[in-house]
Amino acid sequence: MAIGLFGTARITVESRDAVTVPDAAILRDDVSGVSRVALVRDGKAHWVDVVAGLRGAERTEIVSPALTPSDSVVVSGQVGLPEGAHVTIRP
């Protein structure tokens, strides 16, 4: 009998199609509990309150409002980013 053997397993409890964003895109206000993301539309940042759903290893489902897979979100530099600020999209 070998001692010290171990392994890793990933068990899928539920699978569904959903729009997700990187965890870094979500800012949560610790006082109010509101979560927000900055969407990029027409080269400007627009803050949207969101309801988060299931969370994966690095991404979180957005339950509402309905986002599309083509929506771009800000993933760095959000702190202090004002509504309507000009932003540049980089891959």
> pLDDT by residue for the chain (91 residues), tens digit each?
667 788 888 887 777 788 999 999 999 999 999 999 999 999 999 999 999 998 888 999 999 999 998 999 999 999 899 999 999 888 7
- Entry pTM: 0.76
Task: Please give the pLDDT value at position 57.
Answer: 84
Which amino acid type is present at position 88? T
Instruction: Map out the domains of the chain as residue ranges.
Output: 20-73
∠ CA 15-19-20, nearest 5°, is 90
Q: How many CB atoms lie within 10 A of CB 67?
A: 19
